[in-house]
Amino acid sequence: MIDTLPPLDTPLDAASHPHLYPYVVQRAWVDVHDPQGEVSEPFSDDVFVTLVLDGTAGLRRLQGEDLRSAGLTFEAAFAQAASNLARAWKAGHFEFGIARLDDGTPIAGCRGNWMAPAGGLVLGNLYQSMVEHFEMTDFAAVPVNRTLLLAFPTDAKTLSSLALRQLVEGAASGAILPIARTWLRLDGEWPSAYRGVPAF
């Protein structure tokens, strides 16, 4: 089952720019809604970021024609959307944090609402807090569902955690719209496909 957001039903004018946001989706979403890749950018083969408008009628997906009509490039619209996302984080619409699982394994994550997966991948805050906490620079991240991104070190002890495996499996198969169980690499650059074989 994929997220089926309706298309934009009003022109993308200057008044709507503060309501643009990045939104993390799975490949099947892009195949259906943006096969030409006009309003999406890949993190990996399975996970993409697209643009949505948070309007009075809920979330609306953007299409290439919306950007063209507004005279915007994807890059300009994405920069605006990322800025809006940072503002939403400062306003407390979603949160980053470090948590300890029942078996003592420390992990990180981003949760709160539909902005959370993009917040964890697009903004640098989660990555910076992980670098400071774990004292390393390479991590894995899994955008398990519409409201939750999990991130963790890739050392043997962390990857052998049954609690972490169960958390990923449960969050990816629960009632909230799943995105992917695909692992992404967080290394301070644009998130990319995980290098190596995911442990679960």
The pLDDT tens digits of the residues spanning 146-158 come to 999 999 999 999 9
138 by Cβ neighbours in 10 Å (0-12 / 13-18 / 19+) ranks as: middle
- pLDDT, one tens digit per residue, over 102-142 is 999 999 999 999 999 999 999 999 999 999 999 999 999 99
Domain residue ranges of the chain, discontinuous segments joined by +:
14-90, 96-193
CB 144 within 8 A of CB 181: yes
What pTM was computed for the model? 0.95
Q: How far apart are CA 184 and CA 192, in angstroms?
A: 6
CB 51 within 8 A of CB 37: no
CB 27 within 8 A of CB 48: yes
- pLDDT, one tens digit per residue, over 76-107 is 999 999 999 999 999 999 999 999 999 999 99
